[in-house]
């Protein structure tokens, strides 16, 4: 897509979902690939969730090289390092889980591109309207109502539901990894780091999906708006009918079953 097309797509998502911030695009760079120029370099930024905050709230492009990432688990999720042996269970004992067995199960649930080997040299995250590279993954932070709209939009063509498996750990990192590994949308809850350093807030979840699906999901959002199912939903009682957003009425007999 061209820069103008991404800008239009960003405006569409923000309008249809009434987003207070920006959808973000993510790309992992291999050795030898040219990195985008940072709009606002910041030596204090060392975490993936901080890059996400810069992009979605501050409207800035951020880049981290593998040697500058301060979160080992996030780096392993993104294949910036090979997953260390301690991240296969033991480092969670006493903090998140009771013993090594539970820790192993926890970390098995956290998808990591680094489990096989170190694959990438850097990560870049940018708001979609000024994105200077072709993203692999698009992520949107949103309230449950907004995430619901994105779910409906993503299943509009095929009707295949989205399965949610989460440990609420390294959420943005493992979400990116899952999308790259399985080419499917992912829903996750911001982890402790994302709350503390990415300022995700208590009302947001993460919806991430392959960039190749952006037109499909945009179409689903558009159809929902045309059918009167747009965001935000409005519910009101009018006589014997219940109005669910504009243009849709539930028949009274449905309410009696």
Q: What's the whole-number average pLDDT of the chain?
A: 86
Give mean pLDDT, residues 138-161: 92
Q: Report d(CA 16, CA 150) in Å as an integer.
A: 10
**Contact in structure between 68 and 81 (CB atoms under 8 Å):** no
Percent of the chain with pLDDT over 70: 86
Give mean pLDDT, residues 112-129: 95
pLDDT over 80 at 243, yes or no: no
Q: What is the pLDDT of residues 73-82, one digit of tens each?
A: 999 999 999 9
Residue ranges of the domains in the chain?
Answer: 3-226, 229-257
pLDDT band, very low/low/confident/very high, at 40 (cuts 50, 70, 90)? low
Q: Report d(CA 25, CA 128) in Å as an integer.
A: 6
pLDDT band, very low/low/confident/very high, at 239 (cuts 50, 70, 90)? very low
Q: What is the pLDDT of residues 189-234, one digit of tens each?
A: 999 889 988 889 888 999 999 999 999 999 999 988 777 677 776 5
CA atoms within 13 A on the CB side of 234: 9
Q: What is the pLDDT of residues 156-200, one digit of tens each?
A: 888 888 988 888 888 999 999 999 999 999 999 999 889 988 889
Q: Report d(CA 137, CA 206) in Å as an integer.
A: 12
Q: What is the pLDDT of residue 237?
A: 47
**Contact in structure between 211 and 137 (CB atoms under 8 Å):** yes
3-state secondary structure of 235: strand
Question: Among 21-25, 41-45, 107-111, which is the least confidently predicted range?
Answer: 41-45
144's CB contacts (< 8 A; 6+ apart) are 205
């Amino acid at each position: 897509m061209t820069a103008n097309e991404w800008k239009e797509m960003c405006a569409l998502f923000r309008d249809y979902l009434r987003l207070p911030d920006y959808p973000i695009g993510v790309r992992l760079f291999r050795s030898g690939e040219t990195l985008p120029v940072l709009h606002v370099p910041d030596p204090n930024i060392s975490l993936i969730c901080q890059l996400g905050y810069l992009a979605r709230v501050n409207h800035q492009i951020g880049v981290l090289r593998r040697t500058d990432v301060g979160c080992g688990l996030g780096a392993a999720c993104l294949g910036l390092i090979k997953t260390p042996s301690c991240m296969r269970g033991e480092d969670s004992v006493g903090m998140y889980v009771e013993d090594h067995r539970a820790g192993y199960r926890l970390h098995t649930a956290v998808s990591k591109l680094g489990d096989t080997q170190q694959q990438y040299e850097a990560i870049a995250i940018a708001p979609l309207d000024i994105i200077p590279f072709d993203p692999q993954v698009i992520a949107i932070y949103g309230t449950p109502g907004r995430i619901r709209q994105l779910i409906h939009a993503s299943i509009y063509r095929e009707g295949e539901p989205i399965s949610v498996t989460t440990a609420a750990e390294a959420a943005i990192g493992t979400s990116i990894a899952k999308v790259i590994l399985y080419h499917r949308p992912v829903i996750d809850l911001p982890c402790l780091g994302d709350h503390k350093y990415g300022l995700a807030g208590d009302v947001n979840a993460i919806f991430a999906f392959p960039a190749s699906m952006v037109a499909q999901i945009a179409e689903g959002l558009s159809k929902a708006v045309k059918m009167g199912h747009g965001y935000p939903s409005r519910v009101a009682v009018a006589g014997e009918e219940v109005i669910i957003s504009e243009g849709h009425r539930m028949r009274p007999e449905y309410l009696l079953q």
